Amino acid sequence: MDDADELAYWLALRRAGLGTTSFALLIAKFGSVAAAWEAPAEALRAAGIDQQYVRRVVQVRAGFAPGRELAALERAGARAVTWGDAAYPARLREIPQSPPVLFIRGSAGPEFEQAVAVVGTRNVTPYGRQVAEAFCEALAELGVAIIRSRTGWRWNVGRRRWRSSRVGSTRCTPGSTRGWRSGSWSTAAW
C-alpha cells in the first residue's frame, strides 16, 4: 500500500467523524489506519470505538471512493497532512488533542515557538474588539506570532497586529473536509 492509499483511509475515517481519541485507539489496536479501515465493526467496537462512530464508519465505507476523495482534494488545490506525516506541525503534535488530519491550501508556513490564535465572533461588542486588539498588540510586541482565522478578519481584530507580527498566511481547517470541499477556509499558520 502506498502513502496515497493510507491517506485516503485517514480521510475516510475523518469523514466518519472520528477524532483524536478514536484515531489513537485504532492505531494502537490495528497498527495502521488502513488496517483499522478494513477491520470488521465488531473489532472496531472491541478497540474502544463508540457505537455511534462504528455505525458511521460502516455507512461511510459503503460510499467511500478513495480515488474520488483524493482527486477532490487535488482539484481544491489542497493537501492533507496526518499525524504520520513528517510535515505535520511539530508543536501541534505535542498537544494531547491534536487533530489527526489537517487540510491545507497554500504553503504550510513557519513553525513558531510562541503563537496565539485569534478567532472571532459574529456579534462582537465594541469592548470585545478593543480588548482583543490591545491583547494582540501586546503579544505581537513581545514577539508572539498572531494567528488569525477568517472569523477574526470578519470583525477586523488583529488586522494591524497581524501585519506587524509578520506572520505568513496558510489556509488550514484542522480535521474538517467541509472547508476544502466548499472553499470556506479558516486561515491559520503554525
Domain boundary among 31, 63, 78: 78
Domain contains 16? yes
| Chosen domain end from 33, 57, 78 | 78
> What is the reported pLDDT for 103?
83
The per-residue pLDDT for 166 is: 37
Would 89 be classed as within a structural domain?
no
List, in sequence order, every beta strand (DSSP E) within 64-137: 78-82, 101-105, 115-118
Q: Within this chain, do residues 7 and 58 fall inside the same structural domain, yes or no?
A: yes
Its pTM surpasses 0.75: no
Looking at residue 38, what DSSP letter applies? H
Per-residue pLDDT, 188:
36
- Higher local confidence (pLDDT), 97 or 108: 97
Q: Answer whether residue 51 is part of any domain.
A: yes
Residue pair 34/6 in contact (Cβ under 8 Å)? The answer is: yes
Q: What range defines the domain where residue 71 resides?
A: 3-78
Same domain, 126 and 59: no
Asked if residue 181 is part of any domain, the answer here is no
The answer to whether position 137 is within a domain reads yes
Is 70 exceeded by the pLDDT of residue 62?
Answer: yes
Phi first, then psi: what are they for 91, rounded to 5°?
-65, -35
> Can you give the pLDDT at residue 96?
86
Residue 26, pLDDT > 80, answer yes
Name the domain boundary from 78, 100, 124: 78
* pLDDT recorded at residue 111: 66
Residue 147's beta-bridge partner residues?
A: 117
**Residue pair 133/119 in contact by the 8 Å Cβ criterion:** no
97 falls within a domain: no
Q: Tell whether 128 is covered by a domain.
A: yes
Query: How buried is 126 (Cβ within 10 angstroms: 0-12 exposed, 13-18 middle, 19+ buried)?
Result: exposed
86 in a domain, yes or no?
no
Considering the chain, what is the average pLDDT of its residues? 76
- Out of 2-11, 25-34, 84-93, 104-113, the most confident range is 25-34
The predicted pLDDT at position 154 comes to: 40
Mean pLDDT, to the nearest integer, of 52-73? 91
Total domain count, the chain: 2
